[in-house]
Chain A
């Protein structure tokens, strides 16, 4: 072992961070984490620490950075309340497979278990929302743990890893070599593909008349969009994407039939229902996609390609599956398959599309439709912006009407559905791509959850634009109340709001407001002209609903298509389902 200088634990943390290629991280300081912040301060030429106004902001920024760049996002916070404030972000990252390393301060070792000031059992609390977590017991093991944390976070299906470091260990000094490699073998995370199964897939593909590719976020995580493109183009099989997968296949391509799932397109959901072969790639058959399980894609054989063994056969039985590196699986499979024209199948898809395209009708003199606002954002940015969203109706409209031709441009909280995610995530993405325009398409409710991070935008003059589609409602919940609760708006009306223009101004930012279609175009043009951060408030029609909608517990083909459709039909459909199948509806 090479001679090492005596180093503090905090310095070891910084050394591993730098060695792992981390040049930026987000955090908020406190007593127990002080030694680490001190070391970061002393190493500020090698690594940039961004101070946030809330720890939730710090972890969502790390997520936004990770999702947009593909690198591991890092946040660092203090013990007790600092650590508990990142639990939402950890859970979010766990659900959406985002590689995160979270470093938390802990009370000194000898105080652990004594209910000391700002002590929390962070490893216990975060056990079920991290891929793995560590409580560092002595300084000797600290560098290896840090190394392993990065390895675990990014390998296989990515996820968040937490390292809890007692203050005394960060402050102590020792001579410990920094290990070069993780102590865990890669095979723990990335199984070897099964060639026999891939051959079986090729056979199934050869015999299919109505095949459909259903790809998800796993493709993006594996950086396999190109491999997916080659596979799809060679076979000529139509492609639909999940909410998390948007961008994994170019939206402008003729084989793309839009998003599927609860708010997916008519064409995609019917394709799902009537296809004879469903090829799931990096997607996990979650309930927002399958709808009622027993009626999910009833006529199809199923293929599943993923990296996570637990995703296979969890919700849906498949006929062929393989695990492993998606790039190599897809390229192997691509070599084995031929091309077909699938003409009758494409005709069917086109007919569905003609019948119910994703569309809206903006009355030039009427209230602004949120779909129109998103469409204008898309038009004016030429589809080149990085888009983040909060959670709610605006999120679904953004998914439906902003078209992504590249991966990692679409950043949204899918699995957990975390309101308040989008704005800090936009900040994180802006740090990753300083030259890009980053737009948070926000709801008024969600933005108010994390808007204190405006200070960070101002401090670093980031090109982040928050477009608040203001309906003065917690709109998505209101939509459900409209449909299923006889318009009883329990707790969804939020008429008291900040003046968003003044809010921007009080942080020294620009603020814009529009409440007509014409002004919407005008203020968006204005806002996108400069690289300055701003808030654009667009007052939108609060009565608008997101359609199509597969009511939770209903089959995909039973989607509701418009408000004009008899509400009674929806109610009846959901109710009979609830009766005949025990559960159903939403609870």
Chain B
């Protein structure tokens, strides 16, 4: 099963490599790993998407907890959580297909952030499944380049990491709607 694990770590050199090292040393496969500093500059948050059975995930969590630089590990999968991925997609946009591509972008709540003679760059955020769907559709027109951030995630409502002062107010309704 696919798990989204949020790891609060000390914001220090070498921490990321300790975390990724743990995965490679124990033969766990990471689907994606995103790291960024939190509102507390001394703390970073790593969001890891990993596939594995319960035994593997249990080990992943425990092994992460053992790392000295790890402050807290939460498997968001069991919570109600919001996950988002951002993609930049350079897609062919010939005169005869431009409007169709634009329609797709609109449908998916995307943005055209660069326009060239024969291509667009599209920015889109959303659930992994939404982006997958959009990529698949755009594939019909010819994708020239694609880059994705990997999933970042946060649990709804109550905070899972007490120390993290999440200032962003969740617009629950709207976030809930954009599940294309």
Q: Do A and B come from one complex?
A: yes
Across the interface, B63 reaches (CB within 8 A) one of A131, A188, A310, namely A310
Across the interface, B68 reaches (CB within 8 A) one of A124, A135, A188, A313, namely A188
Mark interface residues in B8-46 (1 if CB within 8 Å of A CB, else 0): 000001100110010001000000000000000000000
Q: Which of A137-181 contact B (CB under 8 A)?
A: 152
Flag if B68 contacts A127 (CB, 8 Å): no
Flag if B14 contacts A132 (CB, 8 Å): no
Flag if A135 contacts B14 (CB, 8 Å): yes
Flag if A184 contacts B58 (CB, 8 Å): no
Q: Which residues of B contact A131 (CB under 8 A)?
A: 68
Across the interface, B59 reaches (CB within 8 A) one of A123, A124, A128, A310, namely A310
**How far does the alpha carbon of A535 sit from the alpha carbon of B37 in the complex, in Å?**
60
A133's closest neighbor in chain B, by CB?
Answer: B14
Flag if B21 contacts A313 (CB, 8 Å): no
**How far does the alpha carbon of A313 sit from the alpha carbon of B14 in the complex, in Å?**
29
Cβ of A379 within 8 Å of any chain B Cβ, yes or no, is: no
Cβ of B65 within 8 Å of any chain A Cβ, yes or no, is: yes
Flag if A127 contacts B66 (CB, 8 Å): no
Flag if B17 contacts A127 (CB, 8 Å): yes
Given A124-B17, A127-B14, A135-B14, 19 additional A-B pairs, CB 8 A: A123-B14, A127-B17, A127-B18, A127-B21, A128-B21, A128-B25, A131-B68, A132-B67, A132-B68, A152-B68, A184-B68, A308-B66, A309-B66, A310-B59, A310-B62, A310-B66, A313-B55, A313-B58, A314-B55
Q: What are 12 A-B pairs at a CB distance below 8 A? A: A124-B17, A127-B14, A127-B18, A127-B21, A132-B67, A184-B68, A309-B65, A310-B63, A312-B62, A313-B55, A313-B58, A314-B55
Q: Please judge, given known A-B contacts A128-B21, A135-B14, whether A314 and B68 are in contact too, CB under 8 Å.
A: no
Q: How far in angstroms is the closest Cβ of chain B from A415?
A: 15
Q: Which residues of B contact A310 (CB under 8 A)?
A: 59, 62-63, 66
Q: Which residues of A contact B21 (CB under 8 A)?
A: 127-128
Q: How far in angstroms is the closest Cβ of chain B from A137?
A: 8
Q: How far in angstroms is the closest Cβ of chain B from A184?
A: 7
Taking Cβ atoms with an 8 Å cutoff, the residues of A that contact B are 123-124, 127-128, 131-132, 135, 152, 184, 188, 308-310, 312-314
**How far does the alpha carbon of A313 sit from the alpha carbon of B62 in the complex, in Å?**
11
Q: Is the interface of B mostly helix, strand, loop or mixed?
A: helix
B70's closest neighbor in chain A, by CB?
Answer: A188
7 smallest A-B Cβ distances: which pairs? A310-B62, A132-B68, A309-B62, A128-B25, A127-B21, A310-B63, A128-B21
**How many residue pairs, one in A and one in B, have C-beta atoms under 8 Å apart?**
29
**How far does the alpha carbon of A310 sit from the alpha carbon of B22 in the complex, in Å?**
13
B71's closest neighbor in chain A, by CB?
Answer: A188
Q: Which residues of A contact B67 (CB under 8 A)?
A: 132
B66's closest neighbor in chain A, by CB?
Answer: A310
Q: Which residues of B contact A312 (CB under 8 A)?
A: 62
Q: How far in angstroms is the closest Cβ of chain A from B34?
A: 21
Could you say which of B25, B58, B65, B66 has the most chain A C-beta atoms within 10 Å of its C-beta? B66
Across the interface, A314 reaches (CB within 8 A) one of B18, B59, B66, namely B59
Q: How far in angstroms is the closest Cβ of chain A from B126?
A: 36
Q: Which residues of B contact A132 (CB under 8 A)?
A: 67-68
Q: Which residues of B contact A314 (CB under 8 A)?
A: 55, 59
Q: Which residues of A contact B25 (CB under 8 A)?
A: 128
Q: Which residues of B contact A123 (CB under 8 A)?
A: 14
A309's closest neighbor in chain B, by CB?
Answer: B62
Q: Which residues of B contact A184 (CB under 8 A)?
A: 68
**How far does the alpha carbon of A135 sit from the alpha carbon of B14 in the complex, in Å?**
10
Q: Which residues of A contact B13 (CB under 8 A)?
A: 135
Mark interface residues in B126-168 (1 if CB within 8 Å of A CB, else 0): 0000000000000000000000000000000000000000000
**How far does the alpha carbon of A312 sit from the alpha carbon of B66 in the complex, in Å?**
13
Q: Which residues of A contact B59 (CB under 8 A)?
A: 310, 314
A313's closest neighbor in chain B, by CB?
Answer: B58
**How far does the alpha carbon of A210 sit from the alpha carbon of B113 in the complex, in Å?**
72
Q: How far in angstroms is the closest Cβ of chain A from B94?
A: 48
Q: Which residues of B contact A128 (CB under 8 A)?
A: 21, 25
Q: How far in angstroms is the closest Cβ of chain A from B98?
A: 48
Q: How far in angstroms is the closest Cβ of chain A from B85?
A: 29
Q: How far in angstroms is the closest Cβ of chain B from A124?
A: 7
Q: Which residues of A contact B17 (CB under 8 A)?
A: 124, 127
A188's closest neighbor in chain B, by CB?
Answer: B68
A161's closest neighbor in chain B, by CB?
Answer: B68
**How far does the alpha carbon of A135 sit from the alpha carbon of B13 in the complex, in Å?**
10
Q: Which residues of A contact B65 (CB under 8 A)?
A: 309
Q: How far in angstroms is the closest Cβ of chain B from A318?
A: 12
Q: Which residues of A contact B58 (CB under 8 A)?
A: 313
Q: How far in angstroms is the closest Cβ of chain A from B169?
A: 33
Q: How far in angstroms is the closest Cβ of chain B from A112?
A: 11
Q: Which residues of A contact B62 (CB under 8 A)?
A: 309-310, 312
**How far does the alpha carbon of A451 sit from the alpha carbon of B62 in the complex, in Å?**
40
B65's closest neighbor in chain A, by CB?
Answer: A309
**How far does the alpha carbon of A124 sit from the alpha carbon of B16 in the complex, in Å?**
12
**How far does the alpha carbon of A152 sit from the alpha carbon of B55 in the complex, in Å?**
27
**How far does the alpha carbon of A123 sit from the alpha carbon of B15 in the complex, in Å?**
12
Mark interface residues in B66-78 (1 if CB within 8 Å of A CB, else 0): 1110000000000
Q: Which residues of B contact A308 (CB under 8 A)?
A: 66
Mark interface residues in B51-62 (1 if CB within 8 Å of A CB, else 0): 000010011001
**How far does the alpha carbon of A309 sit from the alpha carbon of B66 in the complex, in Å?**
8
**How far does the alpha carbon of A132 sit from the alpha carbon of B70 in the complex, in Å?**
12
Q: Which residues of B contact A124 (CB under 8 A)?
A: 17
**How far does the alpha carbon of A152 sit from the alpha carbon of B67 in the complex, in Å?**
11
Q: How far in angstroms is the closest Cβ of chain B from A131?
A: 8
Q: Which residues of A contact B55 (CB under 8 A)?
A: 313-314
**How far does the alpha carbon of A312 sit from the alpha carbon of B55 in the complex, in Å?**
10
A184's closest neighbor in chain B, by CB?
Answer: B68
Q: How far in angstroms is the closest Cβ of chain A from B53?
A: 12
Q: How far in angstroms is the closest Cβ of chain A from B141?
A: 44
